[in-house]
Structure 1
């Protein structure tokens, strides 16, 4: 299937929609408990159970609209299904709270292996979208690797030492704003090492 373009608004809605839905659902159900098949489940567990198929649906829609998915989107979906499924099956919210740690640590490890080999795996998958010199990609990859390690550590600290309310706020807003701010702060790097696409100018 050939890659197709969609509007940034549509892509943003599909990327962030499930996260915002999880947040709203948690706010509505966090103080409630539900008896299902004789077992008692907290609102958090129920919202997690709803989040899994919602993310699968939006990921499928994104694939149908664009014809492609990034490796990070695929890995994220797999980990949500695995850790979300364990959360619901074992009725233990800790598994879902670990998921961001696993995601960021995994990608930091993959990027780190590339750096040790003198390569930027980010460049391999994003070069057409963001043309830069190899030196620029290496600098960005080192920064992203360190940032992902920081996010993994922060997630562990938050979910292990703070309330579920604090973790949900951190996951919904803290991680999203942190990623946006990080890439906004790379503007100087993009200007210094960026390359003009063929046909520009």
Structure 2
């Protein structure tokens, strides 16, 4: 259930996965820094995102939900930025994506569903209480990211915003994810009980 498309899944090493996720962002930063042209950087970002999604599918024969949603938003908002020649759309994209993720997680909690569990249960086995705690934390974290993005793009230069998007948001997300490991360990299920709980 945690895949949009699923054929015969193939393993993908973590380095390749990270390169496919970070590659378009790094190109976005590099092109913007070298050309001082956000439109050229955005066009590169959109093209690189499409290539990364295609390569990910070719290698793993599957596309995880979050990269697919993020990629779709890059294509839509990047396309609007280029078509309308207005950088507002690419700048508000992180705000909208993070609020969307937060809304989905919050909505799931209100409906008694643990969507985070559906996405990550193949990698981690934890009690529903553990998933509930993680869902609240990630929901709030996504809201914080949305607020911070709004503060940065509205109050600082485009170059500063691009740098923060590449070198700020991703490291913050990785650090936050690592900080959640103790909760996963505390609520971890034994292997034989991994499929016994239901969302």
TM-score (norm: length of structure 2): 0.91
147-156 or 64-73: which moved more?
Answer: 64-73
Q: Are 1:10 and 2:40 matched, yes or no?
A: no
Q: Are 1:161 and 2:155 matched, yes or no?
A: yes
CA distance in 2, matches of 1:25, 1:190: 39
| Bigger RCO of structures 1 and 2 (CA < 8 A, at least 6 apart) | 2
CA distance in 2, matches of 1:12, 1:196: 29
Which SS does the other structure have where 2:63 is aligned? coil
Which SS does the other structure have where 1:69 is aligned? strand
CA offsets per residue over residues 10-39 of structure 1, 9 Å max, x none?
Answer: 111111111111111111011xxxxxxxxx
Which SS does the other structure have where 1:6 is aligned? coil
171-180 or 65-74: which moved more?
Answer: 65-74
Q: Which residue among 37, 56, 59 is the counterpart of 2:53?
A: 59
Q: Are 1:143 and 2:134 matched, yes or no?
A: no
Structure 2 gaps, min length 5: 1-6, 194-199
Structure 1 gaps, min length 5: 31-42
CA distance in 2, matches of 1:60, 1:197: 34
Supply the RMSD in Å over aligned alpha carbons.
1.5
Deviation at 1:198, TM superposition (A): 4.4
TM-score (norm: length of structure 1): 0.90
Q: Which has the larger radius of gyration?
A: 1
Contact kept, 8 Å, 2:31 with 2:40, in 1: the verdict is: no
Contact kept, 8 Å, 2:94 with 2:146, in 1: the verdict is: yes
Matches within 5 A, 1:25-64: 25-30=31-36, 43-64=37-58
